[in-house]
Amino acid sequence: TVLKSPQIIPVALFWLVNVEQSPLSLTGSEGQDSSLTCSYSGTVRNVQWYRQAPGESPALLGVLYKDERATWGLNLRAELRTTEKHSYLNITEAQLQDAAAYLCAVEAQ
């Protein structure tokens, strides 16, 4: 009789989180305030906001954890509301150098 040890079958679990950012594009004037919203499904460890200036790679602005608020630079304020599953990025008194793509990403829990 040949005894075989039970086989271990590796299982990978991937937690998918749907992320949507709005508005998709935003046009404003110098001195104007603007707001971006990042909405997600599921549970996340954190939300990250990035800024991509024309012709450059995305640069991390900062990371928000549960119900945290932050100020980055002179005129960027961000907030994470975990119960609402939203993060907000507010640009106050926009300047020409604020012209960029702003992106959000999440780390799933």
Domain regions of the chain by residue span: 32-108
Beta bridge mates, 46 = 107
pLDDT higher than 70, residue 15: no
Question: pTM for the full model?
Answer: 0.83
Q: How does residue 7 score in pLDDT terms, banded at 50, 70 and 90? A: low
| Non-local CB neighbours of 72 within 8 Å, separated by 6+ positions | 49, 61, 62, 78
Protein fold of 32-108: Immunoglobulin-like (2.60.40)
User: Residue 41: CA atoms inside 13 Å, Cβ hemisphere, count?
Assistant: 5
Of residues 94 and 15, more confidently modeled: 94
pLDDT higher than 90, residue 4: no
pLDDT of residue 17: 84
